[in-house]
Amino acid sequence: METINISEAKSRFSEFLSRAASGERFVILRRARPLAALISAGELDRLDRAAEITRRLARTLGQSPGLLDEIEAGKVHPAMAAFGLWKDEDDLEDLEARIIENRSRSASRPGVDL
């Protein structure tokens, strides 16, 4: 994915539009921060279909419609769609406690040097 600044996007808009229509993706920056993305209509449609499938799956699995509405409105992170879906699963009942216990035992392990 190529990044371009806003002035370049304005001056070469037709070129970027044609390139996006053929499948390239662009992030438009303002003051070195992402402002918008330029993608093809087909890519946008694919992303919309994937989001709808994800919403349907979350609803099917029993997620609260209110939470899904908050996610769609941008009030809650999309990862929250999975929150609480395991509450009726006996083998996952103590998952949170096991994760916390595992992390506390692993606190002495060396950090990752990137």
Q: What is the pLDDT of residue 114?
A: 63
Q: What is the pLDDT of residue 113?
A: 65
Q: What is the pLDDT of residue 61?
A: 83
pLDDT at 20 over 70: yes
The per-residue pLDDT of the chain, averaged, comes to 86
Q: What is the pLDDT of residue 111?
A: 62
Q: What is the pLDDT of residue 100?
A: 82
Q: What is the pLDDT of residues 66-114, one digit of tens each?
A: 888 888 888 888 777 777 666 666 776 677 788 888 888 876 666 666 6
Q: Which domains does the chain have, with CATH numbers?
A: 2-39 (3.40.1620.10), 50-105 (no CATH)
List, as one string, the DSSP characters of the chain.
-EEEEHHHHHHTHHHHHHHHHTT--EEEEETTEEEEEE--HHHHHHHHHHHHHHHHHHHHTT--HHHHHHHHTTSS-GGGGGTTTTTT-GGGTTHHHHHHHHHHHTTTSPPP--
What is the mean predicted confidence (pLDDT) over 43-53?
92
